[in-house]
Amino acid sequence: MVQRPETAPGAHAPLVAVFDLDGTITRRDTLLPYVWGFLVRYRPWRLPWLLALLPECVRFIAGRADHGTLKSALIRATLGGAQRAQLEAWTARFVAQLLKHGALSDALQRVAQHRADGDYLVLLSASPELFVPQVGEALGFAQVLCTGLTWNADTLLGYLSTPNRRGEEKVRCLERLRGAHPSQVFAAYGNAASDVPHLRMVERPLLVNGNAGARKLARRYGIPTATWR
């Protein structure tokens, strides 16, 4: 990878701009607020079912379960059996509120600038397909890559239908994007230490709002950092 200092988008040949979602475009995690809001609005009787996740949380903390396993368990326990129409109604409400109150202004401005420059925008998120495609559509992304889920017709089952789009899986997604756009310069934006592997692969990486560990790792590889508000 050719490391370059972070520069604001401007007059250039169109590039591919890859954005993470949680903590990069939004202020915080999106899945937990999505699940909580759905339960409170549509399934308050399932709130106690969250206690059933405690064994899986213990396994995760002990290193015997990964992020994808925990994510699937959460979705199955809370949203499993929900109908597509009901989920779509909640998603429309959730995404509108998320972009109005939960998105970083600097991130929205950067997305808009890339779009104005004619760049190819890709939203690459570990969050699930329940709402990430709708966020991408609202912000004008050309392509969305997120964690897929299983359905039985229009009933959500909640098992993962794709690898969890996190860490090394984001690297594999970026490799495929490179293959689809072999002659273009890439920019990528992420916020976590788990984003550093795919940020290292692009010409214009930027770590935003990273914690101390993520910033230290980014500096090790010459990746610029920034604070977005």
| Domain membership flag for residue 94 | yes
| Domain membership flag for residue 164 | yes
**Can you tell me the distance from the alpha carbon of 6 to that of 11, in angstroms, rounded to the nearest whole number?**
15
Q: What is the Cα gyration radius of the chain? A: 18
| Domain membership flag for residue 204 | yes
User: What is the span of the domain harbouring residue 97?
Assistant: 16-226
**Can you tell me the distance from the alpha carbon of 20 to that of 166, in angstroms, rounded to the nearest whole number?**
10
Supply the pTM of this predicted model.
Answer: 0.93
Q: What tens-digit pLDDT sequence spans the chain (229 residues)?
A: 334 334 454 456 899 999 999 999 999 999 999 999 999 999 999 898 888 899 899 999 999 889 999 999 999 999 999 999 999 999 999 999 999 999 999 999 999 999 999 999 999 999 999 999 999 999 999 999 999 999 999 999 999 999 999 999 999 999 999 999 999 999 999 999 999 999 999 999 999 999 999 999 999 999 999 999 9
Q: Give the CATH number, domain containing residue 178.
A: 3.40.50.1000
| Domain membership flag for residue 9 | no
| Domain membership flag for residue 92 | yes
| Domain membership flag for residue 3 | no
- Domain tally, the chain: 1
**Can you tell me the distance from the alpha carbon of 152 to that of 90, in angstroms, rounded to the nearest whole number?**
19
